[in-house]
Amino acid sequence: MEMKVYPDLLAERRRVAALFLRRGMAGSHAQRMAGQGREFEKLREYSPGDSLGDVHWRASARRRHLVTKVHQIERSHEVYVVIDASRLSNRAVRMKDADGSNGTNSSHVTALDRYVTAALILGAAAERQGDQFGLITFSDRVLTFLRARAGQGHYDSCREKLYALQPQGVTPDFEELCSFIRMRLNKRALLVFLTALDDPFLAESFVTSSELIARQHVILVNMLRPAGVRPVFENEEVRNLEDLYRELGGHLQWEKLRELEGTLRLRGMRFGLLDPEAISADLVKQHGEVRARELV
């Protein structure tokens, strides 16, 4: 017999239940939607006050009077989780207990384990919101590509691909990845990257390569917070000179990641430094914010 052990999503669902399990909210509710929408609906005659940017000039020339384009809010979007399975995904992570204390830093829990669990939770949350969920995994090449769809069968396919995913002892090739996305994804989509950019070489490579897709897609870049990376003097348990030097080293890394965040923001991308135990809830929250602002 073959036995498969999947990630424990029940514990993760409890963490994010308040975000996408809408209990006690039966019935219709007014929801504010930002923006005018991107999906074309119809043409109508120009009315005073319409924006010139909405005028369909070719149709206006044919009809010999001004014609305005009418758009509607898109209810369904494509959401892709892009998972880095290269060498840095094999790093062990420290999970905090429910009371906030530090848990066991076990080699059984790696960054890739947390990526897989968070991707499955985000896929379930996206489907609840009416979006289509897709999957891309990569290392020095693209390993898996599942085009965004909905339905239990597609979700099971994504779970099977993630189940077989293992860390690769290679350096990620962001240039090949972004070229692949540029060629295969024609429709504007939300791309949620789960990777590690605390290596300066990898960070520079990602910034350069992502320019191929930054204008077309909405990009959220997320990485797990490395142990000890935080502002100086935030840790109150500094007892000796060795602890002080360790905290200073963590502060320098934190500063570099802040500079990376600013660089990505200038290119229209958002960067998140997430705690391992809260990554699923943070991704669901990011997805909700993108939907509310109609950025896709």
Domain contains 234:
yes
Q: Are 185 and 132 in contact (CB under 8 A)?
A: no
Q: What is the side-by-side strand order in the sheet with 218-224?
A: 142-149, 132-138, 78-84, 190-194, 218-224, 270-274
Question: How far, in Å, CA of 14 to CA of 209, rounded?
Answer: 37
Domain contains 59:
yes
pLDDT computed for residue 29 by the predictor: 46
Q: What is the DSSP letter of 95?
A: P
> Could you tell me if 235 and 169 lie in one domain?
yes
Domain contains 103:
yes
Domain contains 82:
yes
Structure tokens, 192:
């949620």
DSSP 97-148: -TTSSB----TTSBHHHHHHHHHHHHHHHHHHTT-EEEEEEESSSEEEEEEE
> Residue 49's domain spans which residues?
39-72
> Could you tell me if 64 and 93 lie in one domain?
no
> Could you tell me if 80 and 63 lie in one domain?
no
pLDDT computed for residue 238 by the predictor: 77
Query: Distances from the Cα of 262 to the Cαs of 159, 174, 225, 267, 269, in angstroms?
Result: 34, 19, 17, 9, 9
Domain contains 22:
no
- Which of 171, 254, 256, 169 is CA-nearest to residue 205? 171
pLDDT computed for residue 23 by the predictor: 46
Domain contains 209:
yes
pLDDT computed for residue 30 by the predictor: 47
> Could you tell me if 146 and 185 lie in one domain?
yes
Question: How far, in Å, CA of 161 to CA of 164, rounded?
Answer: 5
> Could you tell me if 232 and 287 lie in one domain?
yes
> Could you tell me if 91 and 124 lie in one domain?
yes
Question: Which residues, listed in sequence order, are joined to residue 142 by a DSSP beta bridge?
Answer: 138
3-class DSSP state of 223: strand
Question: How far, in Å, CA of 195 to CA of 61, rounded?
Answer: 50
Question: How far, in Å, CA of 90 to CA of 95, rounded?
Answer: 15
Domain with residue 210: its CATH number is 3.40.50.410
pLDDT computed for residue 75 by the predictor: 62
pLDDT computed for residue 71 by the predictor: 67
Between vectors from CA 203 to CA 109 and to CA 287, what angle results, nearest 5°? 65
- Residue at a domain's end among 72, 97, 123: 72
> Could you tell me if 43 and 142 lie in one domain?
no
Domain contains 260:
yes
DSSP 77-90: -EEEEEEE-SGGGG
Question: How far, in Å, CA of 82 to CA of 142, rounded?
Answer: 10
- Residue at a domain's end among 72, 92, 124: 72
> Could you tell me if 234 and 264 lie in one domain?
yes
> Could you tell me if 53 and 105 lie in one domain?
no
Query: pLDDT tens, position by position, for the chain (296 residues)?
Result: 888 877 778 777 777 776 555 444 444 444 545 445 555 667 888 888 788 878 888 888 988 889 888 765 556 789 999 999 999 999 998 877 654 555 544 447 899 999 999 999 999 989 888 899 999 999 999 999 999 999 999 999 999 999 989 999 999 999 999 999 999 999 999 999 999 999 999 999 999 999 999 999 999 999 999 888 888 777 777 788 888 888 888 889 999 999 999 999 999 999 999 999 889 999 999 998 998 887 87
Q: Which residue has the tokens 């390993």?
A: 143
Domain contains 163:
yes
The domain total for the chain is 2
pLDDT computed for residue 237 by the predictor: 78
> Could you tell me if 49 and 103 lie in one domain?
no
> Could you tell me if 82 and 147 lie in one domain?
yes
